[in-house]
Amino acid sequence: MQNTNIQQNISLAPYTTFKVGGMAKYFCEVNNIDDLKEALDFARKKKINYFILAGGSNLIVSDKGYNGLIIKPKFQNCQIEGNKIKVGASFVLDKLVNLANDKGLKGLEWAGGLPGTVGGAVRGNAGAFKGEIRNCVSKVRCSNLESRGLKEKIRNNKQCQFGYRESVFKHNHEIILEVILQMQKGDPKLLKEKSQFTRYYRKEKHPINFPCVGSIFKNIPTDTTTPGVVIRFKDVVKDDPFSVIPTAAVIDRAGLKGYQIGGAQISPKHTNYIINLGNAKVQEIIQVIEHEVKTIKEKFNIDLEVEPQLLGFDKKYDWESN
């Protein structure tokens, strides 16, 4: 990759599912490890920060944009051998669900309809319908971005340090290059039916007709809050895949359904979603989040944990989890 292929002043809005955000000073796509090395060398020579952009489904970009280099990997290889899938981090998760189902490989059917990439799903340990991607991750090939040679390493499942919507990749400087998934044998027909159900459920229950980033807040594990809170919401506690209080129910009972600032609105369809009504500014989205955090703390003494990552903001908010 030559530096001439690095673009300047590129809008990041089209690269996020929220469809908001300002301009990246520099932007490039990388197809392999050599491209990645050259992009990082460019950032070092310019003495600018860089950010690895995956599917943009769990990201809020500032209206001011990003005064550095956005690197968008295009690692899209996919190979299936027996019960194992070796797949590039940039491969679209929902597309992989279909491939696995067709081959009768069980382990991803719960992810039907989820946006984003395989690498993004591993980084955030994506999960739904009592399933999590950590349950089928065997190994992750990754590189430390701070090392000059981008020395590669292999992490096994335990070394990925998976937690609830968490992994080691959220807290270190490693980029996921490739994931090896250990699947189980399943009935293709039943797997496809499960994925069709999850897609239908999301279509019916989630505001997918509006730009959004999915859930704004993590659900609330019952073992991290007070017994009084658990009793107050005992009628809605569910397994996800362990005991949690659905944050949507908490927001709904706080009377925040439909709350709106400018073009940003708490979805009347699913209250753990903030939707872009078409003309939302990023600061309006942030203001809605701040109002939710403050209201839930005052009403129920619950500290909400925000899922999406923020990029390009001048300040770090008290509620940021990363």
φ and ψ of 268, to 5 deg: -70, -15
Q: Say which of 109, 132, 292, 307 is annotated catalytic.
A: 307
Q: How many Å separate Cα 55 from the centre of its chain? A: 8
To the query of whether residue 215 is one of the catalytic residues in this protein, the response is yes
Q: Say which of 123, 215, 292, 305 is annotated catalytic.
A: 215
To the query of whether residue 148 is one of the catalytic residues in this protein, the response is no
Among residues 291, 283, 137, which one has the least CA distance to residue 217? 291
To the query of whether residue 165 is one of the catalytic residues in this protein, the response is yes
CA distances to 30, 100, 131, 272 from 216, in Å: 29, 28, 19, 6
Buried-exposed string 33-68: b where 16+ CB fall within 10 A, e elsewhere: eebbbbbbebbeeeeeebbbbbbbbbbbbbbebbeb
Q: How many Å separate Cα 54 from the centre of its chain? A: 9
Q: Say which of 165, 178, 202, 284 is annotated catalytic.
A: 165
Q: Scanning the structure block, which residue is given the tokens 């940039």? A: 90
45: CB partners within 8 A, 6+ apart: none
Hey, which residues are catalytic here?
Answer: 165, 215, 307
